[in-house]
Amino acid sequence: MNPAADFPGSWRPNPASSVALFEQLRLQVIHLADNGALPPGTRLPAVRALAGQLDVAPHTVARAYKELEAAGVVATRGRNGTVVCARDDRLGGLSEAAAAYAAVAKSQGATFAEAVKLLAAAYDVP
């Protein structure tokens, strides 16, 4: 079975949603990568092919892929296409940022609970 041929399965973006189409696609790829439906090394469809499949503009898919690449979720390999990265690879940068945040929070005397509360607020978690 070729996972890329089935991507993204029956999922379709919701044009009536207040969430931008590229963001819906970005979140869906992250979800599929996190739950193993898109294992590391899976080649994603070409921008134009996926845009046609989802009935969205190619720019929508290109922006989602660009943001996914910036986050380390996927890597673009030129003619070899865009592939899903291993979770450990993409969380490496996040782990470094978390360590830096923790160091700053500690140096300013914040408790763990205070630091988590600030992170939750930045994440827009109620």
- What pLDDT does residue 29 have? 95
pLDDT, mean over the chain: 87
Please state the pTM of the whole predicted model: 0.69
- Topology of domain 3-85, per CATH? Arc Repressor Mutant, subunit A (1.10.10)
**According to the 3-state scheme, what is the secondary structure of the chain?**
CCHHHHCCCCCCCCCCCCCCHHHHHHHHHHHHHHCCCCCCCCECCCHHHHHHHHCCCHHHHHHHHHHHHHCCCEEECHHHCEEECCHHHHHHHHHHHHHHHHHHHHHCCCCHHHHHHHHHHHCCCC
- Give the pLDDT confidence of 69-114 residue by residue, as tens digits: 998 899 998 888 999 998 776 666 777 788 889 999 999 999 999 9
